[in-house]
Amino acid sequence: MGKNTILLFLIGFTWGSFHAQIRRVYSFNNTTIEVLVQSNRMQNNFAFPGMKAFIIIVNSGNTLDTIYENDKLRKIPISGMNDYACFYYIKAADWLNNETLKQFLEDFTKWCYETDYINRNEVHLVWQGSSNKINCDTFTNLSKITGSVHILSDKLNNYCNNYVNTTAEEIWQKSQSGKTSVQYEVLGMKEMRQLQNENQQKAIYRSIKKSKGDIFFQITAGSHHIGNQYKTTFDKNTLVDFTNYKTLWNLRAGYYFSNRLYSNVDVALIYSGKQENIDNINWDDPDGITVNGSGYAGAMIRCGLGLGFVVYTHSRLSINTGIDSGIINAIAGGGTANRTIGGGDNNTDIEKQSQKSIYYNIYAGLNYRLGKSFSLNSNLQYNISAFKQPIGSVSAFTGISVNLGLGITISTKNKDE
What is the block-wise mean pLDDT of the chain (417 residues), using blocks of 10 residues?
50 43 88 91 78 87 84 90 92 84 93 88 85 75 90 61 83 89 77 71 69 92 96 91 95 94 97 78 64 82 97 89 97 78 69 94 95 92 95 95 96 61
Catalogue the long-range contacts made by 28-35 (C-beta closer than 8 Å, 24 or more residues apart). Answer: 28/95, 28/100, 28/104, 28/107, 28/108, 29/95, 29/100, 31/93, 31/95, 32/414, 33/90, 33/91, 34/64, 34/90, 34/91, 35/88, 35/89, 35/90
How far is 397 from 52, CA to CA, in rounded Å?
65
Q: Which residues pair with 416 in a beta bridge?
A: none
**pLDDT value of position 124:** 94
Give the contacts of 9 (CB within 8 A, at least 6 positions apart): none
Alpha helix positions (H), 241-307:
none
**Could you tell me how many residues make up the chain?**
417
Q: What pTM was estimated for this model as a whole?
A: 0.56
How far is 356 from 35, CA to CA, in rounded Å?
56
How far is 285 from 388, CA to CA, in rounded Å?
44
Of 352, 339, 356, the C-alpha closest to 303 is: 356
Say which amino acid occupies 287.
D
**pLDDT value of position 186:** 78
Q: Name the burial class of residue 260, with classes exposed (0-12), middle (13-18) and buried (19+) by CB atoms within 10 angstroms of its CB.
A: middle
Of 312, 296, 306, the C-alpha closest to 266 is: 306
How far is 380 from 207, CA to CA, in rounded Å?
24
**pLDDT value of position 345:** 66
List of domains in the chain: 22-187 (3.40.50), 212-410 (2.40.160.20)
Give the contacts of 16 (CB within 8 A, at least 6 positions apart): none
Q: In the 8-state DSSP scheme, what is residue 30?
A: T
**pLDDT value of position 207:** 65
> For 157, phi and psi rounded to 5 degrees?
-170, 145
